[in-house]
Amino acid sequence: LDAVRTRLAPELAELRLDRLEGRVAASRRPDGLELSIHGLRVVSGDGLHLAPTDFSLSLISGEHAGGRLRATRLELAALAGLAAQLPLPAQVRGRLAGFAPQGEVSDLRLEWQGAAGAPARWTLAARFAGLGLAAEGRRPGMSGLSGAIEGDERVGRFRLDARDARLALPEVFADGPLVFERLQAEGGWQRREGRLELALDALSFDNPDAAGTAAGRYWMEAGGAGEIELTAQLDRADGTAVWRYLPRVVNERTQAWVRAAVQHARGEGASLRLQGRLADFPFRDGNGRFEVAIGLRDGVLDYAPGWPAIEGIDGVLRFRGPGLRVEAERARIFGVALAGVVADIPDLDTRRGGPMTITGRARGPSADFLRFIADSPLATRIGALTDSLRVEGEGELALRLTMPLRAVADTEVEGEYRFTDNRVGVLAALPPIERAGGRVRFTRDGLSIPEARGRWFGEPL
């Protein structure tokens, strides 16, 4: 047929086709509809193409409602585009529109008993390529998935082998879908003790941010987010991409700080453990477990505007429960070695938790300590006090920053610098203070010297 114009039911929109080929058989009975198509090829009026396929559909209404669907090949986007004009149950048409399916399904066998929108029993077997479904509400979305599935409402198996796949979890991640250059997985499902358990036996993935493996279980929950048990190992991870994987429980200000602060970090090995009801995430009350550990090498933490960045971080970035913690075995500021550096956010949701704290110690040239003061916001508070000082010798710095992530500019700073046997030139016209030692304390607002000693003009000072 050419130039087809038809309305298949009074309540449907007109179906307009440029070309329709194939053999069609249909029969309507008091309790249902039988439809079979052989070698169907469709070209719609808006340029939509459906490649040749064999298709059969049986719908039964009444007390024994159900149906059966067989197809050699289905192009989901094309069918979804035609669904509004086909004599399908209104629930089916509505679900198709909401899912916005993409990709191709082949060797499809689907049977169900009960209402099409919520069947009491069903069986399914199919292969698929480039499969995609739109995310909506709590329902995840996906694209680019290929593999196979077979099972029923009680037990089944699936296999995935995808390239350039995307997974959207709008209830979990706010930054958009997760992208995978490679995604392979095997698993299944089984109904136990009234709950449906999804099993991920093996998963391997690779994307620009990370590569690794995972396995776990997920139990669906009526009216809730369900329960999960998941472990993962990462062979490679980019520490600068951590912010992309922070769940929605982390508010926008904290996510923005993590994105801006972690300037550079090469991940060397990482692990994840997630266990508990997702409604209780991130398990502040200890009723679940969430732990992520990422080994960092050569990291750069730009923790607050105006303050010198901590560089060369070798250590571990940990998420544990609601908090984040960076523990650095080694780091440096201006080339001065730091030790015992800890950056701690007790609760990433800053509406609940306290501020971030950064603590650390450094030993190095006193001249670099003056440079730290001169290059920090403290310099504007104390004027040019340190500009004329000339120092030779070494000392030890203890530093603590308390940073409200909702207002990073209000960062509080506490520091103390201890030095001994230094040589301090105060003014160019005067001799330096020899064998100088003491303590210098500073905050964001000022600087004090509670204790100092030395020899000046050959006499004790």
pLDDT digits (tens, 9 = 90+) for 174-221: 667 788 889 999 999 998 887 889 999 999 999 888 888 999 998 888
pLDDT digits (tens, 9 = 90+) for 83-97: 777 777 777 777 777
Give whole-number Cα distances, 16 to 1, 41, 48, 80, in Å: 11, 14, 11, 15
Output the pLDDT for position 171. Answer: 63
Enter the pTM of the model: 0.68
b/e sequence 291-305, b meaning 16+ C-beta within 10 Å: ebbbbbbebbbbbbe
Residue 200 and residue 219: Cα distance in Å, rounded?
11
Question: Residue 416: which of 394, 380, 448, 442 has the closest Cα?
Answer: 442
Q: Is the pLDDT of residue 82 over 60?
A: yes
Mean pLDDT of 136-140: 71
Q: Is the pLDDT of residue 353 over 60?
A: no
Poorest-confidence range of 123-137, 371-385, 401-415? Answer: 371-385
* Tokens, residue 457: 């003009």
Poorest-confidence range of 33-42, 107-116, 270-279? Answer: 270-279
Between 258 and 297, the higher pLDDT residue: 297
Mean pLDDT of 274-282: 84
Q: Is the pLDDT of residue 71 over 60?
A: yes
Q: Is the pLDDT of residue 157 over 90?
A: yes
pLDDT digits (tens, 9 = 90+) for 404-433: 767 766 778 888 989 999 998 888 788 999
| Exposed / middle / buried, residue 425 (Cβ in 10 Å: 0-12, 13-18, 19+) | middle
Mean pLDDT of 433-455: 88
Output the pLDDT for position 172. Answer: 65
Output the pLDDT for position 66. Answer: 92
Output the pLDDT for position 453. Answer: 95
Output the pLDDT for position 434. Answer: 93
Between 437 and 83, the higher pLDDT residue: 437
Mean pLDDT of 311-328: 86
Question: Residue 247: which of 223, 219, 268, 228 has the closest Cα?
Answer: 228
Between 89 and 274, the higher pLDDT residue: 274
Over the Cα atoms of the chain, what is R_g?
Answer: 33
- Answer whether 185's CB lies under 8 Å from 172's CB: no
Output the pLDDT for position 148. Answer: 96
Mean pLDDT of 159-182: 80
Mean pLDDT of 102-127: 90
- Answer whether 86's CB lies under 8 Å from 8's CB: yes
Chain mean pLDDT for the chain = 84
If you search the block for the tokens 């050419």, which residue do you land on?
Answer: 2
Output the pLDDT for position 39. Answer: 92
Between 453 and 12, the higher pLDDT residue: 453
Residue 218 and residue 201: Cα distance in Å, rounded?
11
Output the pLDDT for position 341. Answer: 87
With cut-offs at 50, 70 and 90, classify the pLDDT of residue 382. Answer: low
Mean pLDDT of 9-35: 89
Name residues whose C-beta falls within 8 Å of residue 429's C-beta, 6 or more positions apart in sequence.
Answer: none
Output the pLDDT for position 352. Answer: 56
Output the pLDDT for position 401. Answer: 84
